[in-house]
Structure 1
Amino acid sequence: MITLSFLFGWCCQTLAQTVCDPSALDSLLGCMTRVVSTTRRMVQEKVYLHFDNTGYFMGEKMWFTAYVVRADGHRPGVRSRVLYVELLNPSGDVVQRRKLKIDGRGHAHGDLSLDSLYGAGFYEVRAFTRYMSNWGGAACFSRVFPVFRTPPAPGAYEPVMDERSYRRRLPDFREADTLQRSRLNVSFYPEGGRLVSGLRSRVAFQVSDGGGRHVQAEGELLDGSGRVVCRGSSDSTGRGVFTVPSSCDGLRFRLRDARGRIKEFPLPDPSSEGCVLELPPCFDDSLRFSVRGTASYRDRLLGYMLMNYGRVWTCDTFRVGSGYHKSYLRDSLPEGVNQLTVFDGSGRILCERLFFLFPKPSPSDTIGIMSETSRLTPCGKVRLRLRSVPGSVFSFSAMDGGTVFNGCGPSVKSWMLLSSEVKGYIDNVGYYFESDDSVHRRASDLLMLVQGWRRYDWEELSGYRPRSPEEWHPVEDSLYVTGRLRSVKKSLPVDGIPLKAYVYSGGSHLDGEMLTDSLGRYAFSLPDVWGEWNLQLKAGVKKLKSRYLLTVDRRFGPPARRLSPYECRALPVLPSDLPLLPDTMEFDTLPLLSLSERLHKLPEVAVKAKRRFTDGARAAWATEKRGQYWADVYYDCDEETERYLDEGKEIPTFLGWLQERNPFVSGNLYGMDDSFSTDVVLNNSSHFSIEDLRETTAPTSVRYKGRSIMWILDNQFYDCDTVLLSYADKNKVRREIDDFPSFLDEAKAVYITEAPNAFWSYFPFVDLVKKVDAVTCFVYSHWTSRRRMEKGVRRTYFQGYNVPSTFEMPDYSLMPPAEDFRRTLYWNPDVRTDGKGEAIIEFYNNSSCREIRVSVEGVTPDGRCIFNE
């Protein structure tokens, strides 16, 4: 790894030995120095999550341990102390969040509860620190899991998902697919980044169908006259490569798939000037690359730099001439993903690519497992001896092999060394760690050409394209409350305004005071607090009649990425290698205490007191469990309101928000023409009043996917389509305008279902109930008028660290064997080896497991990824 002192010494030596333009050399050396300095000052972070299982059922818990490391060497020592873990449903909505404390070793552990989901499907778990969000979603951890339906009976595990597709049932909020897909599609990836006129180049390509699946096809490169210049074919991953000759115009690539379908695609437009980089896969002990340039670049002094996970490994200056060639011994280069960049004196990239060097396996990377239990018995004790590096810390999971319905995903090694460095999902990532032969080298070369994502933007590091400080998310080395004071009118000041913060929960409270900066920003540091606290922010504004908004920064999660069809499928399950045999006779003969025998029903008691109808009784009637039972879609309106306020926006009307939030909702929401808007009402009080607005926001003609909507307000039938009302008794419909939420903050929750019979028990027209095709929308209100917002004051919440749950299992040394349907037999997020490198694990089997699968993963203090084979 090149150091700053070495770089300056190398500069002087190069100046003495190189006859060139001193200003050009100074510019190149300045770029190199800035890159080395920046990569040391702004070290990126990585996070990997180890889970207790590979697939889940609704109602279970998802246990995990997080390993947060420096990207440059994968060692602990990150500055961040706050980790965010989110669960996203198939449509891309965040349905659960966890905020965890990262300890000094870079570890954190927690759990996600799957008992409040509204459908089975493929759910995504992602994890990131606030600092990671500076580099977008590609810098965050992400993994997709199948979540199956709740078993119909305890222990009846069957991998069944919803029959209805999420793509049709829910709006899609994931990132748009940038490729305009047809039945046959191809994307081109010139080696080095671009084609240059007059220079031969290798071009990788990826062939896919309309659903994004790989297509194996034959291709031909045609010139402007239709002559075949060269040929190329894609493999089973849809990837291939061909060579573009130096003198061809109007190039197009003609593809023929296995069904005989033919389609032509134009190549990207070439640049008139520039350089090309060629680094073909080498099958010997060396690695060679070459650079060629157009006439304007051949006599210029250029530079190249080799980086490995953000560490500058080597750099040099050169002249292209008729072609620059450089070779290295493979053993002299760092293992894993490397980034080779060719640049000019301004710091602009001329050509760049990634390449992968096979990491040599080491016996110390493996966690050995030896069973000290010869046979499995129902509810019997299992004892395992683990061997690894002395003093190492890792997480351990034991699963019932008979209930594992999804194969293994990426391991800690494959994620840290490969998956986190490329863009998109890698199908069968373990393949690239199997061998270092010519077949695997060629496959990894195609992977780097097609999915090579640059974790470090070299032009940003070199200062050629600096990033604005306002766009930068800070390192959260503790808990913070940050945000901005915004004014509706630009003439109102936001700088130097005193701001007070109060954080309180129960009998505990914290407070602080500060002045906003020139942009109205503020930041309060908090000690470690756990759970949810109340937060009040108050600005000392002198013009009380003016409007100020206080925002809170907590919406910095990356957008939901587009999922690959290959990660939205169950992986094949491989046989277990744990040498434990079931004692068949004991499984068949051992009596087990059933669940019903362990339950004791309390005797019924007759209550003779008269029932009092109070607000509490109304709350019991209006419980959200009715909507939850039917729900396909759920919205927390309080959280949605906070989102608008966090972004410095006015609280929208309820129906206006619903249409913006869910594109399936349509219709003239306000009973007025299309020019009507909430802003007109709020800003022109002389023309409209709040009562007028309430009259215009009745849900009279709102549609969902073109179907009528049955509105159930606080579990009472409220309204339906006006066309239907014309044929029914309107006196049976509850339509008090004041009751229906006018603004978003007046609603508490919304549940939407397309089930045809969800509204039957509420519908007052018995004769029409089975003839109506409608969507049911359950709305739960706060039963209060619109809450008045005090100027310059924000009342909200602050989420401290979430308290991780404790994994529990029965102790069969104290109780008789019983029916036990645990799928995760044992989970320990913090196993430590002793001075001899050993650790003992003991747990109890369930009542039916005949095959145990074990997953053990961790990261050592020196950055090595350890795991069980």
Structure 2
Amino acid sequence: MKTNALILALATLLFAFTFEDDLIQSIAAKFDRYNNELPQEKAYLHLDKPYYTAGETVWFKAYLVEANTHLPDTVSIPLYVELIDNQRGKLIDKKILQLEGGSAAADFMLPDTLKAGYYRLRAYTNWMLNFDENLLFTKDFKVFRPNTDDEPIKLNSQEIDFRFFPEGGNLVEGIENRLAYKAVDALGNGLDVSGIILSDKGDTVISFDSEHLGMGVMTFKPQIGEKYTAKIKYRNIYEKEVSLPVSEKEGFVMGVESVADKENIRLFVGHNSANSTSQIAIIGQSQGKICYAAKATSAKKVLLMKIPKNKFPTGVTQFTVFNEKGLPLCERVIFLKTDTTLNVNILPNKTKYQTREKVTLNIEAKDAKGKPISGDFSVSVTDAGQILEQAFPENIQTYLLLSSDLKGKVEQPAYYFSKENPDAARHLDILMMTQGWRRYRWNDIMKDELPTPKYPLERGLSISGEISRQNGKPFEKPVNLTFMFSLKDSTRLFGMGLAQKDGSFVVNNLSFVDSAQVIVQAIAGNSNRNTKIFINRAFSPKVQVVAIPFNALTFDEKELADYLKRTKEALDFERSLRFNKSILLNEVQVKAKKKVEERDSRVLYSSPSKSLTVDPTMIGYMNVLDLIRGRFAGVQVSGSANDPVVTIRGVSSLSGSSEPMFLLDGMRTDKSAILMLPVADVEKVDVLTGGESAIYGMGAGSGVISVLTKRGNPNYDYSNDKALGVEHFGIAGYYPTKEFYAPNYDVSLPEHIRPDYRSTIFWSPKIKTDANGKASITFFNTDAATKVNITLEGISAAGIPIVARNTYSVGTK
């Protein structure tokens, strides 16, 4: 937004302007600069269902939009998505998605060894790491394990968090203003409370009762010199004493009424300042644009403004009062809804179907005037008998318009968008008073110089590192670099470049799927190969332990009995198929004589429980543990390739450690030493369990991972050592998209005799409407006679988030 255009559009107030436009111009210019130099992004994940069983697959669609306009973001290309164990603070898996037009589809296969509990998906771009980590998208969900007990959540029924929130941010002596409050239990969910406010003399000033999810609001006027305490009652048993925020002797307060009048916002600013010549500015901004600006002096103790709502878009609007130095004095956020609703319908070709019958869903997307719109959507079709609907869950509309711009999680966000709730608008206004603002902080915006972004915007994958002498000192002359990338499809890519004067280098805009093996050669000058190469590891934000999850599922597991039963049957069936295949292989008669191998002199065991010999074709792995991921039954390697966690199923440790003992050429070592080994230097990886691991004592109670290197072999030919100035390593590429399995019952196949009770009947993550605003998908029902829920989420080309739902029923044949 141009500053001159902004000044021309300033609203006229009911009182006279008394100073020049310099302050507003300065605020507008700095706000404009901040949004231009530090534009923000929002990520969102649409999951196929809200909970899972260990062994199932989490299917999801990722969306990335520009934070202010919500237009599909096509700037950042890599999107990082992590699977995190909330209760243990561990990163289980990480994938890099290649965004196309601001979206991508992917999945996480949940290990069948996963413990029951609460897990989280976290999504972000490299650029998003320059801002508050709370702005990264997170989605919590529960994982069940049939016939096992959950780890108990430690919940103290007496523990609650109760806070007061003065409207505008301040209580000022002698000025009446609204005081909001919120109570949440140890799970972070709203808790109904009642209470009274007492003066320091013990007199009751006012009583109150919460009205929605532990929230409420009252009118309160602090008296001069008084201090106040609140007594809170909850669960009809407990009582808590809370001090009110200390009232300022002199200051400003703000009040905003945006619910009663459909056309206008009424804004009130009051103060008790003795300085009647001080100047203030009132700024209203939404979605990165200053939509309202006004100015005044403090000659009047009360300022009243009437502001048309049509100046603002749908979403969170922030009003701020600034002093003449450009410092914010008080602030209030509200939520405004404008008529930008799009008509998106999901129309099944029938209202009732038979089991295993073919279904066609027709999707129609139009604007309020009936004109077709283009959009990018994902659709989940679930068995309502197994996947129970949550109360007002998060969706792409509630996240982009509301939750992503507020501090903390919003409980039951869809409630505030429901047209069936007559009190939703008023309760939403109370929510805005208690949640606070976080995406924009004026203290950051008003700085003379903005910080230099630490994390660059990525148009592709990258590798970086440093070149130095063997003693760590930089070279005084250019260092020539040669790169060779070996991809999984046997493609070889070559490139050349120069390191910077300080030895640093970066290779940008790489694009490949799965993984790659990289060889870097560094030569200083024309012939000096005595160089040292250091490769930077990929960065992940810190994982916090969330011992008590927010918005825990409140379903009784008896209600989920059908889902748990059906899922267990399906997973057991798949395991039996794998087991039967193993039996068939064991029955093959091999008439060749068994070769008796001598025990390797580096180890104490004769034969391992499992073993993998590394050959030159095994490229593209970042380290040894990444190499064995998924290769050994019962050996789980979870987490990112840079910091994996290893668990061997069926063994337990008396020492309390859950990870196995690590051996390097027969000598005990730690996991970090194993991770530093280049895969190309490894000869063999052995796994020891049970009796085989007992030879290494009590420390091997969780099993043993034994890594044998080529150089550690007594027969190693040292002429094979790598040349000076050469480093090789593996890097992760984009995650290859998998297709959701959906049987075609029009064709008779042997595997169709298998019972089909999938909880996710169909998942379609890549739906785009045509020029007529239409699209269609087809699939087949399962064997369940049930109600079926259809959920569509997505974003229009104009940046409007869309949610649509429908149902149909399935009867028996």
Q: TM-score range by the shorter chain?
A: 0.7 to 0.9
User: Which secondary structure state, in structure 2, belongs to the residue aligned with residue 450 of structure 1?
Assistant: helix
Measure, in 2, the Cα distance between the counterparts of 1:792 and 1:51: 46
Structure 1 residues 50 and 781: alpha-carbon distance in aligned structure 2, compared to 1, 3 A threshold: same
* 1:228-627 paired onto structure 2 within 5 Å: 228-242=204-218, 243-271=220-248, 273-280=250-257, 282-285=259-262, 286-295=264-273, 298-320=276-298, 321-360=300-339, 362=341, 364-369=342-347, 371-373=348-350, 375-389=352-366, 390=372, 391-405=374-388, 407=390, 409-435=393-419, 439-463=423-447, 466-469=449-452, 471-482=453-464, 492-493=473-474, 498=479, 500=481, 502-505=483-486, 506-516=490-500, 521-536=504-519, 550=534, 552=536, 554-557=538-541, 559-560=543-544, 562=546, 565-570=549-554, 602=584, 604-613=587-596, 621-622=610-611
Instruction: Tell me how far 1:88 sits from its aligned partner.
Output: 1.0
User: Which secondary structure state, in structure 1, belongs to the residue aligned with residue 444 of structure 2?
Assistant: helix
Bigger fraction of residues in strand = 2
Structure 1 residues 99 and 356: alpha-carbon distance in aligned structure 2, compared to 1, 3 A threshold: same
Measure, in 2, the Cα distance between the counterparts of 1:205 and 1:483: 51
User: Which secondary structure state, in structure 2, belongs to the residue aligned with residue 5 of structure 1?
Assistant: helix
Contact 2:396 2:803 in 1 (8 A): yes
Structure 1 residues 202 and 368: alpha-carbon distance in aligned structure 2, compared to 1, 3 A threshold: same
* 1:63-142 paired onto structure 2 within 5 Å: 63-90=59-86, 91-104=88-101, 106-115=102-111, 117-142=113-138
Structure 1 residues 143 and 206: alpha-carbon distance in aligned structure 2, compared to 1, 3 A threshold: same
Contact 1:818 1:847 in 2 (8 A): no
Measure, in 2, the Cα distance between the counterparts of 1:233 and 1:803: 53
User: Which secondary structure state, in structure 2, belongs to the residue aligned with residue 432 of structure 1?
Assistant: helix
Aligned partner letter, 2:748: M
Deviations 1:497-534 (A, max 9, x none): 6363625114412333233366x653322342222112
State which of 186, 193, 199 in structure 2 corresponds to 1:223. Answer: 199
Measure, in 2, the Cα distance between the counterparts of 1:373 and 1:192: 53
Structure 1 residues 867 and 707: alpha-carbon distance in aligned structure 2, compared to 1, 3 A threshold: same
Stretch of structure 1 that moved more, 257-266 or 95-104? 257-266
State which of 665, 669, 681 in structure 2 corresponds to 1:741. Answer: 669
Structure 1 residues 484 and 848: alpha-carbon distance in aligned structure 2, compared to 1, 3 A threshold: same
User: Which secondary structure state, in structure 2, belongs to the residue aligned with residue 783 of structure 1?
Assistant: strand
Structure 1 residues 785 and 234: alpha-carbon distance in aligned structure 2, compared to 1, 3 A threshold: farther
Kindly tell me the number of residue pairs found equivalent between the two proteins: 722
Structure 1 residues 148 and 11: alpha-carbon distance in aligned structure 2, compared to 1, 3 A threshold: closer
User: Which secondary structure state, in structure 1, belongs to the residue aligned with residue 398 of structure 2?
Assistant: helix
Instruction: Tell me how far 1:417 sits from its aligned partner.
Output: 1.1
Deviations 1:653-708 (A, max 9, x none): xxxxx9xx99xxxxxxxxxxxxxxxxxxxxxxxxxxxxxxxxxxxxxxxx98x956
Measure, in 2, the Cα distance between the counterparts of 1:747 and 1:558: 19
Measure, in 1, the Cα distance between the counterparts of 2:634 and 2:579: 31
Measure, in 2, the Cα distance between the counterparts of 1:55 and 1:349: 43
What runs of 5+ residues in structure 2 fail to find an aligned partner? 367-371, 560-575, 601-605, 613-627, 678-687, 713-720, 806-813
Instruction: Tell me how far 1:312 sits from its aligned partner.
Output: 2.0
Deviations 1:624-651 (A, max 9, x none): 89998778x966797239xxxxxxxxxx
Instruction: Tell me how far 1:52 sits from its aligned partner.
Output: 2.1
Residue in 2 aligned with 1:831?
767
* 1:644-793 paired onto structure 2 within 5 Å: 713=661, 739-741=667-669, 744-746=672-674, 776-784=701-709
Residue in 1 aligned with 2:735?
802
**TM-score, L = length of structure 2:** 0.77
Instruction: Tell me how far 1:806 sits from its aligned partner.
Output: 1.7
Structure 1 residues 214 and 37: alpha-carbon distance in aligned structure 2, compared to 1, 3 A threshold: same
Instruction: Tell me how far 1:790 sits from its aligned partner.
Output: 10
Deviations 1:795-852 (A, max 9, x none): 4332221111122322222215522343322222222333333323211222335332
User: Which secondary structure state, in structure 2, belongs to the residue aligned with residue 403 of structure 1?
Assistant: coil
Deviations 1:470-500 (A, max 9, x none): x5322112333245679999x9558986363
Identity of aligned residues (%): 23
Residue in 1 aligned with 2:563?
none
Instruction: Tell me how far 1:546 sits from its aligned partner.
Output: 12
Measure, in 1, the Cα distance between the counterparts of 2:640 and 2:594: 32
Residue in 2 aligned with 1:698?
none
Measure, in 2, the Cα distance between the counterparts of 1:270 and 1:521: 54
Structure 1 residues 310 and 599: alpha-carbon distance in aligned structure 2, compared to 1, 3 A threshold: same
Aligned partner letter, 2:383: D
Instruction: Tell me how far 1:116 sits from its aligned partner.
Output: 5.6
Measure, in 1, the Cα distance between the counterparts of 2:187 and 2:417: 28
Measure, in 2, the Cα distance between the counterparts of 1:809 and 1:534: 35
State which of 804, 818, 821 in structure 1 corresponds to 2:753. Answer: 818
Stretch of structure 1 that moved more, 613-622 or 418-427? 613-622
Instruction: Tell me how far 1:794 sits from its aligned partner.
Output: 5.8
State which of 640, 644, 649 in structure 1 corresponds to 2:643. Answer: 640
Measure, in 2, the Cα distance between the counterparts of 1:79 and 1:835: 25
Contact 2:512 2:734 in 1 (8 A): yes
Measure, in 2, the Cα distance between the counterparts of 1:850 and 1:120: 27
Residue in 2 aligned with 1:721?
none
Structure 1 residues 837 and 213: alpha-carbon distance in aligned structure 2, compared to 1, 3 A threshold: closer
Contact 1:405 1:570 in 2 (8 A): no
Aligned partner letter, 1:301: Q
Structure 1 residues 438 and 298: alpha-carbon distance in aligned structure 2, compared to 1, 3 A threshold: farther
Residue in 1 aligned with 2:617?
none
Instruction: Tell me how far 1:359 sits from its aligned partner.
Output: 4.7
Instruction: Tell me how far 1:197 sits from its aligned partner.
Output: 4.8
Measure, in 1, the Cα distance between the counterparts of 2:59 and 2:117: 19
Instruction: Tell me how far 1:622 sits from its aligned partner.
Output: 4.7
Measure, in 2, the Cα distance between the counterparts of 1:423 and 1:141: 13
Contact 1:711 1:776 in 2 (8 A): no
Measure, in 2, the Cα distance between the counterparts of 1:596 and 1:711: 30
Aligned partner letter, 1:253: A
Aligned partner letter, 1:430: A
